[in-house]
Amino acid sequence: MIKAILIFSNQGKPWLSKFYQPYSEDTQQQIIGETFHLVSKRDENVCNFLEGGLLIGRSDNKLIYRHYATLYFVFYVDSSESELGIFDLIQVFVETLDKCFENVCELDLIFHVDKVHNILVEMVMGGMVLETNMNEIVTQIDTQNKLEKSEADSQLSTCLHPQGGQSLKCEQCRKEYI
Protein backbone atom coordinates (compact mmCIF):
# COMPACT_ATOMS: atom_id res chain seq x y z
CA MET A 1 0.00 0.00 0.00
CA ILE A 2 1.07 3.52 -0.68
CA LYS A 3 1.59 5.41 2.54
CA ALA A 4 2.09 8.92 1.20
CA ILE A 5 2.47 10.92 -1.99
CA LEU A 6 4.48 14.12 -2.01
CA ILE A 7 5.41 16.65 -4.63
CA PHE A 8 7.87 19.35 -3.75
CA SER A 9 10.19 21.81 -5.41
CA ASN A 10 13.93 21.73 -5.56
CA GLN A 11 14.00 23.93 -2.49
CA GLY A 12 11.79 21.68 -0.45
CA LYS A 13 8.53 23.60 -0.63
CA PRO A 14 5.61 21.19 -0.71
CA TRP A 15 3.23 21.60 -3.63
CA LEU A 16 1.17 18.53 -2.86
CA SER A 17 1.02 16.24 0.14
CA LYS A 18 -1.37 13.35 0.58
CA PHE A 19 -1.08 10.88 3.42
CA TYR A 20 -2.94 7.60 3.41
CA GLN A 21 -2.33 6.86 7.04
CA PRO A 22 -3.27 9.04 9.95
CA TYR A 23 -0.32 11.15 10.99
CA SER A 24 -0.49 14.27 13.13
CA GLU A 25 0.22 17.57 11.42
CA ASP A 26 3.60 17.89 13.04
CA THR A 27 4.59 14.45 11.90
CA GLN A 28 3.44 15.25 8.41
CA GLN A 29 5.62 18.31 8.25
CA GLN A 30 8.54 16.40 9.65
CA ILE A 31 8.13 13.70 7.06
CA ILE A 32 8.10 16.27 4.30
CA GLY A 33 11.25 17.88 5.64
CA GLU A 34 13.07 14.63 6.12
CA THR A 35 12.14 13.34 2.69
CA PHE A 36 13.45 16.45 1.08
CA HIS A 37 16.76 16.04 2.90
CA LEU A 38 17.14 12.47 1.82
CA VAL A 39 16.18 13.02 -1.76
CA SER A 40 18.07 16.23 -2.44
CA LYS A 41 21.35 14.58 -1.54
CA ARG A 42 20.98 12.02 -4.28
CA ASP A 43 23.07 12.14 -7.37
CA GLU A 44 21.58 12.00 -10.82
CA ASN A 45 22.74 8.50 -11.69
CA VAL A 46 21.88 6.56 -8.59
CA CYS A 47 18.86 4.34 -8.28
CA ASN A 48 15.50 5.81 -7.47
CA PHE A 49 14.78 3.72 -4.43
CA LEU A 50 15.69 4.64 -0.90
CA GLU A 51 15.13 3.06 2.41
CA GLY A 52 13.14 5.75 4.14
CA GLY A 53 14.22 7.99 6.93
CA LEU A 54 13.57 7.54 10.61
CA LEU A 55 9.95 8.48 10.73
CA ILE A 56 8.29 6.58 8.00
CA GLY A 57 10.88 4.08 6.99
CA ARG A 58 11.37 2.19 10.16
CA SER A 59 9.76 -1.01 9.00
CA ASP A 60 9.90 -2.14 5.44
CA ASN A 61 8.83 1.15 3.91
CA LYS A 62 10.63 2.42 0.86
CA LEU A 63 10.85 5.75 -0.79
CA ILE A 64 10.51 5.82 -4.58
CA TYR A 65 11.12 9.13 -6.23
CA ARG A 66 11.51 10.75 -9.62
CA HIS A 67 13.07 14.07 -10.35
CA TYR A 68 11.57 16.07 -13.20
CA ALA A 69 13.44 19.32 -13.80
CA THR A 70 12.38 21.40 -10.82
CA LEU A 71 10.05 18.97 -9.10
CA TYR A 72 10.43 15.86 -6.99
CA PHE A 73 7.64 13.30 -7.04
CA VAL A 74 7.93 10.99 -4.05
CA PHE A 75 5.87 7.92 -3.24
CA TYR A 76 6.26 6.19 0.08
CA VAL A 77 5.28 2.55 -0.21
CA ASP A 78 5.53 -0.58 1.86
CA SER A 79 6.75 -3.97 0.73
CA SER A 80 3.47 -5.06 -0.83
CA GLU A 81 3.99 -2.75 -3.82
CA SER A 82 6.38 -3.53 -6.61
CA GLU A 83 9.11 -0.88 -6.74
CA LEU A 84 9.40 -0.88 -10.48
CA GLY A 85 5.62 -0.77 -10.79
CA ILE A 86 5.39 2.35 -8.66
CA PHE A 87 8.21 3.84 -10.65
CA ASP A 88 6.06 3.46 -13.74
CA LEU A 89 3.03 4.74 -11.90
CA ILE A 90 4.78 8.03 -11.22
CA GLN A 91 5.40 8.34 -14.92
CA VAL A 92 1.75 7.65 -15.69
CA PHE A 93 0.71 10.23 -13.11
CA VAL A 94 2.89 12.90 -14.63
CA GLU A 95 1.68 12.10 -18.12
CA THR A 96 -1.91 12.38 -16.95
CA LEU A 97 -1.17 15.76 -15.42
CA ASP A 98 0.34 16.74 -18.71
CA LYS A 99 -2.80 15.78 -20.57
CA CYS A 100 -5.12 17.54 -18.14
CA PHE A 101 -3.19 20.76 -17.97
CA GLU A 102 -1.87 20.96 -21.53
CA ASN A 103 1.90 20.85 -21.13
CA VAL A 104 1.99 21.04 -17.43
CA CYS A 105 4.65 23.10 -15.70
CA GLU A 106 5.40 23.79 -12.08
CA LEU A 107 3.19 26.85 -11.92
CA ASP A 108 0.19 24.83 -12.96
CA LEU A 109 0.71 22.55 -10.03
CA ILE A 110 1.25 25.44 -7.68
CA PHE A 111 -1.86 27.37 -8.58
CA HIS A 112 -4.23 24.49 -9.12
CA VAL A 113 -3.55 22.30 -6.13
CA ASP A 114 -7.18 21.31 -5.84
CA LYS A 115 -7.29 20.11 -9.42
CA VAL A 116 -4.16 18.04 -8.90
CA HIS A 117 -5.80 16.49 -5.87
CA ASN A 118 -8.86 15.65 -7.95
CA ILE A 119 -6.71 13.89 -10.52
CA LEU A 120 -4.83 12.02 -7.85
CA VAL A 121 -8.08 10.89 -6.29
CA GLU A 122 -8.98 9.17 -9.56
CA MET A 123 -5.70 7.29 -9.61
CA VAL A 124 -4.95 6.27 -6.07
CA MET A 125 -7.59 5.53 -3.49
CA GLY A 126 -6.98 4.59 0.09
CA GLY A 127 -3.33 3.90 -0.65
CA MET A 128 -4.11 1.50 -3.48
CA VAL A 129 -3.84 2.00 -7.20
CA LEU A 130 -7.28 2.56 -8.68
CA GLU A 131 -6.86 3.33 -12.34
CA THR A 132 -3.83 3.45 -14.55
CA ASN A 133 -5.39 4.12 -17.91
CA MET A 134 -4.62 7.72 -18.77
CA ASN A 135 -7.48 8.27 -21.16
CA GLU A 136 -10.01 6.88 -18.77
CA ILE A 137 -8.82 9.20 -16.02
CA VAL A 138 -8.82 12.24 -18.27
CA THR A 139 -12.33 11.49 -19.47
CA GLN A 140 -13.65 11.25 -15.95
CA ILE A 141 -11.92 14.41 -14.86
CA ASP A 142 -13.32 16.27 -17.82
CA THR A 143 -16.85 15.11 -17.10
CA GLN A 144 -16.61 16.15 -13.50
CA ASN A 145 -15.21 19.52 -14.40
CA LYS A 146 -18.06 20.07 -16.82
CA LEU A 147 -20.49 19.21 -14.07
CA GLU A 148 -18.92 21.81 -11.83
CA LYS A 149 -18.98 24.38 -14.52
CA SER A 150 -22.62 23.77 -15.32
CA GLU A 151 -23.50 24.18 -11.69
CA ALA A 152 -21.69 27.49 -11.47
CA ASP A 153 -23.34 28.71 -14.66
CA SER A 154 -26.80 27.60 -13.63
CA GLN A 155 -26.47 29.50 -10.41
CA LEU A 156 -25.82 32.65 -12.31
CA SER A 157 -28.44 32.03 -14.93
CA THR A 158 -31.32 31.38 -12.58
CA CYS A 159 -30.69 34.64 -10.92
CA LEU A 160 -32.47 37.37 -12.80
CA HIS A 161 -31.68 39.89 -10.18
CA PRO A 162 -34.59 42.13 -9.23
CA GLN A 163 -36.34 40.24 -6.51
CA GLY A 164 -38.14 43.08 -4.96
CA GLY A 165 -36.74 45.18 -2.23
CA GLN A 166 -34.61 48.21 -2.46
CA SER A 167 -31.28 46.66 -1.63
CA LEU A 168 -28.56 47.00 -4.16
CA LYS A 169 -27.32 43.50 -3.53
CA CYS A 170 -29.04 40.45 -4.89
CA GLU A 171 -29.78 37.93 -2.20
CA GLN A 172 -29.48 34.98 -4.45
CA CYS A 173 -26.15 35.40 -6.12
CA ARG A 174 -24.78 38.12 -3.89
CA LYS A 175 -23.71 40.27 -6.72
CA GLU A 176 -24.07 43.96 -6.55
CA TYR A 177 -26.07 45.39 -9.38
CA ILE A 178 -27.34 48.64 -10.41
Partner 1 sequence: MPAPIRLRELIRTIRTARTQAEEREMIQKECAAIRSSFREEDNTYRCRNVAKLLYMHMLGYPAHFGQLECLKLIASQKFTDKRIGYLGAMLLLDERQDVHLLMTNCIKNDLNHSTQFVQGLALCTLGCMGSSEMCRDLAGEVEKLLKTSNSYLRKKAALCAVHVIRKVPELMEMFLPATKNLLNEKNHGVLHTSVVLLTEMCERSPDMLAHFRKLVPQLVRILKNLIMSGYSPEHDVSGISDPFLQVRILRLLRILGRNDDDSSEAMNDILAQVATNTETSKNVGNAILYETVLTIMDIKSESGLRVLAINILGRFLLNNDKNIRYVALTSLLKTVQTDHNAVQRHRSTIVDCLKDLDVSIKRRAMELSFALVNGNNIRGMMKELLYFLDSCEPEFKADCASGIFLAAEKYAPSKRWHIDTIMRVLTTAGSYVRDDAVPNLIQLITNSVEMHAYTVQRLYKAILGDYSQQPLVQVAAWCIGEYGDLLVSGQCEEEEPIQVTEDEVLDILESVLISNMSTSVTRGYALTAIMKLSTRFTCTVNRIKKVVSIYGSSIDVELQQRAVEYNALFKKYDHMRSALLERMPVMEKVTTNGPTEIVQTNGETEPAPLETKPPPSGPQPTSQANDLLDLLGGNDITPVIPTAPTSKPASAGGELLDLLGDINLTGAPATAPTPAPVPQISQPSFLLDGLSSQPLFNDIASGIPSITAYSKNGLKIEFTFERSNTNPSVTVITIQASNSTELDMTDFVFQAAVPKTFQLQLLSPSSSIVPAFNTGTITQVIKVLNPQKQQLRMRIKLTYNHKGSAMQDLAEVNNFPPQSWQ
130: which residues sit within 8 A by CB, 6+ positions away? 122, 123, 124
Nearer to partner 1, 68 or 111 (CB): 111
Burial class from Cβ neighbours inside 10 Å (0-12, 13-18, 19+) for residue 171 reads exposed
Of 130, 128, 121, 38, nearest to 82 by C-alpha is: 128
Residue closer to partner 1 by CB (options 50, 162) is 50
Distance in Å, CB of 162 to partner 1, minimum: 19
Question: Looking at beta carbons only, is 102 or 114 nearer to partner 1?
Answer: 114
> Quick one: how far is CA 168 from the chain centroid?
41
Helices 134-158, 83-101: axis angle to 10 degrees equals 40
**In the complex, what is the shortest distance from the CB of residue 166 to partner 1, in angstroms, rounded to a whole number?**
20
Least distance (Å) between residue 43 CB and partner 1: 7
Helix (H, G, I), strand (E, B) or coil at 177: coil
CB of 105 to partner 1, least distance (A): 15
Q: Which is nearer to partner 1, 102 or 174 (CB)?
A: 174
Q: How far is the CB of 151 from partner 1 (least distance, A)?
A: 5
Q: Cα–Cα distance between 60 and 103 in angstroms, integer?
A: 36
Residues that bind partner 1 in the complex, under the rule CB under 8 A? 14, 16-18, 20, 22, 25, 28-29, 43, 45-51, 82-85, 87-89, 91-92, 110-111, 113-114, 117-118, 121, 125-133, 135-136, 140, 143-144, 147-148, 151-152, 173-174
| Phi and psi angles of residue 81, each rounded to the nearest 5 degrees, phi first | -100, 145
Q: Which is nearer to partner 1, 10 or 143 (CB)?
A: 143
The sheet carrying 62-68 orders its strands as 14-19, 2-9, 71-77, 62-68, 49-51
